[in-house]
Amino acid sequence: MTHVVTLNAGSSSLKFGLFTLQSDDPVAICTGVVDRIGSEEAHIGAKTSDGRVLGGAVPEGIPDHLEAMNHVLDLLAQQFPGAEIVAVGHRIVHGGPDRDRPILLTPDSLQALEGLSPFAPLHQPYNLQGVRAAIRRFPDAAQVACFDTAFHRSHPWVNDTFALPPEYYEMGVRRYGFHGLSYEYIANHLAKTAPLLHGGRVIVAHLGNGASMCGMINGRSVGSSMGFTALDGLPMGTRCGQLDPGVVLYLMEQKGMSAEEITELLYRKSGLLGLSGLSNDMRTLEQVGTGAARRAISYFNFRARRELGALAAVLGGLDAVVFTGGIGENSVLVRERICGSMGWLGIELDHDANTDHARIISTPLSRVQVMVIPTNEELVIARAAARFVYPEMYQGQLDTAAPDIA
């Protein structure tokens, strides 16, 4: 029986999955995550399809992603000794302006992707470390890159450009958008379960430690809150979100901060953590209830409402809102605060359904349907990898072309 491994490397974590290719859709038989890579508090947690819990603390720590990869693959080899790995699917955050679908990795394409690391410094280097480790472990397996930016390559020009001279656009300074694997999963899920909504105007709110929103028409991205990097748009766990570029100039010219210091501030010391002075975890902020924590939550929700209204204007109306991601799927408070003041847009929240974490949390009379759908990036990656080894068995991805917007 053949299998696919999926790898989703973050700055200090590694999500993984093992999928069997025995049906018309890959089936997960084990999924998990390695947390706190680079510390002595590293932990591996995994769960199998039959309910077994695997892993645990790693007393000696895990110094880097290569070692994390070895721990993961050793665990999978011990638990599933008969697995034949024919492909490894990798989440790669940045694919550049031209890659609008997964690719089979080669030495040349890997080198090209390394050149995009400055665009996603928190993610791209670690994504590529995972690729190198997988190539060493599975030299005969297909190595498939799945890009977070690819889903948004359907943006019309007005949502893809900045008001800069055109030569900057040609050199790659443009709005890329991110979280594309999550949005692709939601688009495919809606196509199967709610085709009428899928064919309409939908805003998906991927809210987590990284947060963004995407406006879709007929399942295709026409606008995203994130831009040139994963810093833009909504405030996040440790990232600032939208920021006047004059602030960066001020910090450089008047405060003498270096590029490295500003990068550290904007990527790692801002967002919910910076505003609260306490934590980047929404659960913690909701529990402590300090004034600073409440202000951080209020700012997060305010920016989300603002982006929701802006994307509704981009779409020319709204048929559905989908919450996903760690915060979107689990925070009753955040969903309530974002939707509670949106009656003018046609959103009427069912507070009991929201509290119960129902799939549909709008009232039957709401003109806009509000849904909560858990995302599954690993399944999107597994499907893409499977298509490269068994193209006759697995269908292609959705057409991502989008209508132009004047």
SS3 296: helix
Among residues 347, 329, 350, 351, the alpha carbon closest in space to that of 339 is found at 347
* Tokens standing for residue 328: 């979107």
CA dist 242 and 235 (Å) reads 7
Which H helix or E strand runs over 215? strand 211-217
- Report how far residue 16's alpha carbon sits from residue 69's, in angstroms, rounded to the nearest whole number: 9
Distance CA(161)–CA(178), nearest Å, equals 15
Residues 6 or more apart whose Cβ sits within 8 Å of residue 21:
1, 2, 3, 4, 86, 386, 389, 390, 393
Which DSSP symbol is given to 360?
B
Q: Does the annotation count 399 as an active-site position?
A: no
Please give the Cα distance from 56 to 4 (Å, whole number): 23
Tokens of 229: 């990097």
Distance CA 350, CA 371 (A): 11
- The b/e string for 151-175 (b: 16+ C-beta within 10 A; e otherwise) is bbbbbeeebbeeeeeeeebeeebbb
Cα–Cα distance for residue pair 200/134, rounded to 1 Å = 40
Q: How far is CA 266 from CA 89, 210, 237, 298, 306, in A?
A: 30, 13, 11, 19, 21
Catalytic residue among 25, 100, 148, 352: 148
Q: Which helix (H) or strand (E) holds 214?
A: strand 211-217
**Are 241 and 231 within 8 A, CB to CB?**
yes
Nearest Cα to Cα of residue 24 among 406, 394, 396, 403: 394
Which residues are the active-site residues? 148
